Structure 1
Amino acid sequence: MRAEIVDGTLTPGASLVEITLAERYGTSRTPVREALRRLQQDGLVERADRGMRVRTRSPEEILEIYEARIALEATAAAGAAQRRSDFDLVRLARAHKAMIATPASDAAAMAEANRALHEAIWSASHNGTIVDLLTRLNNHLTRYPQTTLSAPGRWDEAIAEHAEIIEAIGERDADRAYGLAREHMTKARELRLRIYADDTDT
């Protein structure tokens, strides 16, 4: 069900009726009910007048998600600069090298490489609460499947921005890491809003 919500098979606003879903997936209503509960926690479905539905998309939600994500990503980068280990730096360098090797023609691979690098930064912060919150926010963004990294020139720009963030973390410059991460995620927000506007205009 999660996969069908993310890939758009179950469209935003679609009604999610337990008995219908149970028949669709060849199971009883109990696991369907549990799945819906977990998907609601992850922000992928919401309560409607009658039962549940796939959560709708909106520019307001994008702004809400990124308002939180910008602050948390910046805090994670600053925390990484303060608490990173040598092993964390190895993981960051490896993740960045994987990004560089990823072809800009493969949107899914770009998104995965980008996520891996961000997760390496979160891990280097050694703050489990921030990791948990950012993971939940990323779950919300899976309902907006188009990656901002596909925008012309953005992939190379993101690679360069990540290099600067990693450099600041390596130098234990928390203020610089915070500012660079904040700027990086602010650009992502503006691109996400532009993509949403373009999609709704077509």
Structure 2
Amino acid sequence: MRSRRGALSEVYDLLRSEIIAGVFDPGAQLVELVLAEKYGTSRTPIREALRRLEQDGLVERGERGLRVRTRSPEEILEIYEVRIYLEAMAASTAAQRRSDFDLIRIRRAQETMDDTSTDDPAAMAAANRAVHETIWAASHNGTVVDLLTRLNNHLTRYPATTLKTPGRWPEALQEHWAMIDAIEQRDSARAHDLARDHMTKARELRLELYRADPSA
């Protein structure tokens, strides 16, 4: 028999993955009874999963109850306004605090990204995220890592990756290596500015993708 915590974790993981995958459209109502029947469980783990997803930013409250959070260009601007600041802070702090082991992890993540096939958008996005996460970790600031992780949860509702924009992949690789070099050299000012510019480009590309296709 599954424990209560196990049932909650399973329902949360399933519902989260389906929201990210677009099984539920933005704005779709999330009714506890309907979801309980869908996943073959009681309403209690559904209620708890929805509460966690609301904290994650994937679910919001509407006039008729909880629903999948809607998308908008205003939200993209809000997310990136904060993310640009935090990514720059993380890179700058990583340059000051990184250990030799941190640098090894960052380089390995980047080498994996370099070797990632451009025929697999999901793998491209995952490899890119892994590089950023190792830089966050090298900042040794748990609050920054937590906030960036939460912001990334918001962006998972925009499934198209900016890395598939023509020319962006090789450009992003070069920008990453420049940031890594600044971190290795403990040049916090340069690491800050490179990360800021890197994420500013990502914001502009994300807005272009949204304008071309709001469902992307």
TM-score by length of 1: 0.98
Match of 2:116 in 1: 102
Match of 1:157 in 2: 171
The correspondence for 2:30, drawn from 2, 9, 16, is 16
2:216 pairs with 1:198: no
* Residue correspondences, number: 202
Match of 1:87 in 2: 101
| Cα distance in 2, alignment partners of residues 138 and 146 from structure 1 | 14
Residue 48 of structure 1: CA displacement? 1.1
2:66 pairs with 1:52: yes
- Counterpart of 2:134 in structure 1: which amino acid? A
| Cα distance in 2, alignment partners of residues 30 and 137 from structure 1 | 27
SS in 2 for 1:57: coil
Residue 200 of structure 1: CA displacement? 3.3
Q: What does 1:121-200 align with in structure 2 at a 5 Å threshold?
A: 121-200=135-214
| Cα distance in 1, alignment partners of residues 95 and 177 from structure 2 | 14
CA deviation string 1:96-126 (max 9, x = no partner): 1001100111101100100100000000001
Q: Quick one: structure 1 residues 33 and 180, their matched pair in 2 at CA, closer, same or farther if it must change by over 3 Å?
A: same
Match of 2:40 in 1: 26
- Counterpart of 1:80 in structure 2: which amino acid? A
SS in 1 for 2:70: coil
Are the equivalent residues in 1 in contact too, given 2:90–2:136 (CA < 8 A)? yes
Match of 2:52 in 1: 38
| Cα distance in 1, alignment partners of residues 133 and 215 from structure 2 | 33
Q: What does 1:56-71 align with in structure 2 at a 5 Å threshold?
A: 56-71=70-85
Unpaired stretches in structure 1, ≥5 consecutive residues: none
CA deviation string 1:134-183 (max 9, x = no partner): 00000000000111111111111100000000000000000000000000
Report the identity percentage.
69
- Counterpart of 2:36 in structure 1: which amino acid? A
Match of 1:112 in 2: 126
Are the equivalent residues in 1 in contact too, given 2:94–2:140 (CA < 8 A)? yes
Unpaired stretches in structure 2, ≥5 consecutive residues: 1-14
| Cα distance in 2, alignment partners of residues 201 and 22 from structure 1 | 27
- Counterpart of 1:45 in structure 2: which amino acid? V
| Cα distance in 1, alignment partners of residues 53 and 34 from structure 2 | 17
- Counterpart of 2:124 in structure 1: which amino acid? M
| Cα distance in 1, alignment partners of residues 215 and 70 from structure 2 | 17
SS in 2 for 1:200: coil
| Cα distance in 1, alignment partners of residues 97 and 104 from structure 2 | 14
| Cα distance in 1, alignment partners of residues 214 and 196 from structure 2 | 27
| Cα distance in 2, alignment partners of residues 21 and 201 from structure 1 | 23
SS in 1 for 2:60: strand
